[in-house]
């Protein structure tokens, strides 16, 4: 498997915003320091959001384990902080750990250990497989042929595998998780290029796709 692109590596730390500033400290100096330390191009200082809306920083830089990485955005919602990178969820976590540790030390705000954080993740990748995945049971080959005859033609080509999803029971959670694997849009079938979404860390997502390639090709 070849990794073509990390489209989104999203680290979500669920923690009520009021826990980040429990005593209502004046935080403009913190916002100015965050802009300077992480080189954010766009911050709430430039365009203050309306009262009660999310606070967003965009286009920053963080010196991670593998060198400088782009912080696409950091958004503070009422119920948590969301960081998007184009490298990995580990980098997003490292950035948040660095940020909170520094702000705690220099500005007296709560440390990571003092915060009731729940971590969840989103990973979106584009990959190429060496061969098309053999997803269907061989017994379904005749059915695929029937589908191809019904919807395919000389202009559109033959019908083939488009994608699939695995997910948790939607009746047991307000936010069920789903793993998606589907052909990349506007790409010829023969190129074997795919888009995948996973509610996991980036490294786990990559391992799942590598296992899929081994089992299905």
* Secondary element (H or E) of residue 158: none
**pLDDT (tens digit, 9 = 90+) per residue, 23-80?**
999 999 999 999 999 999 999 998 888 888 999 999 999 998 888 999 999 999 999 9
What is the pLDDT, as a whole number, of residue 29?
95
**pLDDT (tens digit, 9 = 90+) per residue, 149-169?**
898 887 878 888 899 999 999
* Alpha-carbon gap, residue 201 to 22, rounded angstroms: 29
Domain boundaries, the chain: 17-115, 124-216
What is the pLDDT, as a whole number, of residue 152?
80
Question: Which residue is listed with tokens 């100015």?
Answer: 32
DSSP state of 26: -
**Non-local CB neighbours of 144 within 8 Å, separated by 6+ positions:** 136, 159, 160
* Alpha-carbon gap, residue 51 to 8, rounded angstroms: 28
The predicted model scores a pTM of 0.90
CB 75 within 8 A of CB 55: yes
């Amino acid at each position: 498997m070849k990794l073509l692109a990390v489209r989104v590596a999203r680290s979500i730390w669920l923690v009520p915003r009021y826990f980040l500033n429990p005593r209502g400290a004046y935080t403009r100096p913190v916002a100015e320091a965050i802009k300077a330390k992480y080189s954010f191009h766009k911050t709430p200082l430039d365009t203050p959001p309306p009262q009660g809306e999310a606070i967003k920083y965009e286009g920053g830089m963080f010196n991670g384990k593998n060198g400088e990485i782009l912080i696409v955005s950091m958004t503070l919602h009422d119920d948590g902080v969301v960081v998007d990178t184009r490298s990995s969820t580990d980098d997003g976590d490292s950035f948040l750990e660095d940020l909170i540790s520094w702000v705690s030390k220099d500005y007296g705000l709560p440390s990571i250990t003092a915060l009731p954080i729940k971590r969840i993740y989103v990973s979106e990748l584009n990959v190429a497989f060496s061969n098309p995945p053999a997803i269907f049971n061989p017994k379904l080959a005749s059915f695929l042929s029937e589908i191809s005859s019904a919807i395919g033609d000389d202009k559109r080509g033959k019908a083939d595998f488009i994608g699939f999803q695995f997910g948790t029971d939607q009746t047991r959670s307000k936010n069920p998780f789903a793993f998606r694997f589907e052909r990349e849009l506007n790409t010829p079938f023969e190129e074997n290029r795919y888009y995948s979404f996973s509610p996991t860390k980036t490294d786990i997502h990559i391992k799942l796709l590598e296992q899929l390639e081994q089992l299905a090709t």
